[in-house]
């Protein structure tokens, strides 16, 4: 059964509404910040899998729309990358970026060599590496398409969604224990006093100026996103088959970075961040809903156990890395502990998980202004730039062992 563009949009929106309903009413889903498109999409994927197994029916959706929504999302990431904020973050932010880069390299190394040891194609190791763990659902789904084309692997999209969801849950689970372990190593005088807990809300850094969403800001944002898609697709065509070849979404992301920072630096133009956030989130939500509706879960049967082993190792690596690298690199103080808990969140899951981890610590021990400045900034857009750049290298490593 084939669904056209209008039917695909209608079903995707229905999936999102189902996801919102379930996340609001099921405590586990709400507590671990499981995205609504993932909840609704997986539910529909399971239903369609049952229908396929019983009646042999298959369903296909408008892939052009899915791809466009993916490119819209990554364009929004690029348009959000304000390098002026990087300067404001100073030296600690740069150090944290290096720590995040080290984890990305380690995740991909563990993934590639773990998959080789377990008799899998090394491309599967990338999916169980930074593609889905540091990258999350959006990056996972985007790279799954390119890895399938490059390596000819099966079930990449299904696997990416499963790995990203696993990481999201475990990232929320290990953040607290890691912070507790590190807090025991601090001297009592280094931990903030309890009377500072009321100041926790002050820890959220808010921009001094944010343009409100209106007709003009939406049109400006759509114009910039359209340019990102136009330029990104042409750059993809011009570099295909060369040493500069990258997935299309990476070119759209880079184009967004150039547009945003050129407008800010050369013309003092204030980009409407809220409009970018809203339109980017809509793009990601529809993209994930369609991607998850299209999952063929029965293709995962042979990969489940080996990939699960790799993911368990990745969780252990994240915890050890947070304790022995992130914590030490960030200064071995209370702020470093909160940053380590946050790193567990977006190193395995997503920025909302990182923020939830940090809130769990600061609600008991007091605020960490440094952590709430650095982690959302890095997790929101800089990590995607970093991940895309490093993945280019590790794809070649995987191709060598393919």
DSSP-assigned states of every residue in 370-381: HHHHHHHHIIII
Most confident of 205-214, 362-371, 387-396: 387-396
Average pLDDT, the chain: 84
User: Residue 140: inside a domain, yes or no?
Assistant: yes
Evaluate whether residue 327 is within a structural domain: yes
For residues 45 and 67, the answer to whether their CB atoms sit within 8 Å is no
Q: Give the pLDDT band of residue 81 (cuts 50, 70, 90).
A: confident
The predicted-structure confidence for 237-276, as pLDDT tens digits, reads as follows 998 878 777 778 888 988 998 999 899 888 888 888 888 8
- Contacts for 248-252: CB closer than 8 Å, 24+ residues apart: 248/71, 249/70, 249/71, 249/74, 249/142, 250/74, 250/388, 250/392, 252/71, 252/74, 252/75, 252/78, 252/228
- Give residue 87's domain range: 77-192+199-279+301-401
- Binned at pLDDT 50, 70 and 90, residue 304 comes out as confident
- Give me the pLDDT at residue 320, please: 96
Provide CB contacts within 8 A for 80, sequence distance 6+.
256, 260, 273, 276, 277, 280, 380, 381
Report phi then psi at 244, rounded to 5: -95, 5
Phi-psi domain of 3 (left: phi exceeds 0; alpha: psi -120 through 50; beta: other): beta
Residue 151 lies in a domain: yes
Note whether residue 272 is domain-resident: yes
Domain count, the chain: 1
Q: With beta carbons less than 8 A apart as the criterion, state whether 159 and 143 touch.
A: no
Which SS3 state, helix, strand or coil, does residue 322 take? helix
pLDDT digits (tens, 9 = 90+) for 22-60: 988 888 777 766 778 878 888 888 888 888 888 888 788
At 107 the pLDDT is 96
Residue 3 confidence (pLDDT): 83
Token pair for residue 179? 């912070």
Is residue 32 a part of any domain in this protein?
A: no
Kindly indicate the confidence band of residue 205, based on its pLDDT and cuts at 50, 70 and 90: very low
């Amino acid at each position: 059964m084939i669904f056209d563009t209008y039917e695909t949009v209608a079903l995707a929106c229905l999936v999102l509404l189902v996801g919102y309903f379930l996340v609001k009413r099921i405590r586990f889903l709400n507590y671990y910040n499981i995205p609504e498109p993932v909840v609704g999409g997986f539910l529909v994927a399971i239903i369609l899998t049952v229908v396929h197994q019983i009646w042999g029916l298959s369903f296909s959706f408008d892939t052009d729309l899915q791809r466009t929504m993916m490119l819209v999302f990554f364009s929004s990431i690029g348009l959000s990358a304000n390098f002026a904020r990087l300067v404001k973050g100073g030296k600690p932010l740069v150090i944290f970026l290096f720590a995040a880069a080290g984890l990305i390299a380690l995740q991909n190394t563990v993934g590639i060599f773990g998959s080789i040891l377990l008799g899998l194609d090394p491309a599967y190791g990338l999916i169980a590496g930074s593609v889905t763990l540091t990258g999350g659902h959006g990056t996972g789904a985007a790279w799954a398409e390119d890895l399938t084309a490059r390596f000819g692997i099966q079930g990449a999209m299904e696997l990416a969604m499963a790995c990203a969801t696993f990481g999201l849950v475990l990232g929320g689970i290990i953040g607290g224990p890691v912070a507790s372990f590190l807090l025991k190593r601090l001297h009592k005088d280094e931990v903030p006093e309890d009377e500072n807990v009321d100041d926790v809300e002050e820890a959220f850094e808010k921009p001094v100026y944010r343009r409100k969403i209106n007709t003009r800001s939406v049109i400006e944002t759509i114009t910039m996103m359209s340019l990102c898609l136009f330029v990104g697709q042409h750059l993809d065509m011009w570099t295909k088959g060369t040493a500069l070849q990258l997935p299309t979404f990476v070119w759209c992301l880079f184009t967004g970075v150039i547009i945003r920072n050129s407008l800010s630096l050369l013309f003092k133009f204030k980009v409407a961040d809220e409009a970018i956030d809203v339109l980017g989130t809509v793009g990601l939500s529809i993209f994930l809903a369609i991607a998850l509706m299209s999952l063929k879960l029965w293709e995962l049967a042979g990969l489940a156990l080996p990939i699960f082993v790799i993911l368990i190792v990745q969780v252990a690596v994240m915890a050890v890395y947070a304790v022995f690298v992130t914590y030490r690199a960030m200064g071995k103080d209370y702020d470093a502990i909160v940053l380590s808990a946050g790193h567990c969140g977006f190193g395995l899951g997503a920025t909302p998980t990182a923020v939830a981890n940090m809130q769990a610590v600061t609600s008991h021990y007091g605020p960490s202004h440094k952590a709430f400045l650095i982690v959302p900034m890095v997790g929101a857009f800089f990590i995607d730039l970093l991940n895309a750049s490093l993945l280019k290298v590790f794809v070649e490593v995987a191709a060598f062992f393919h």
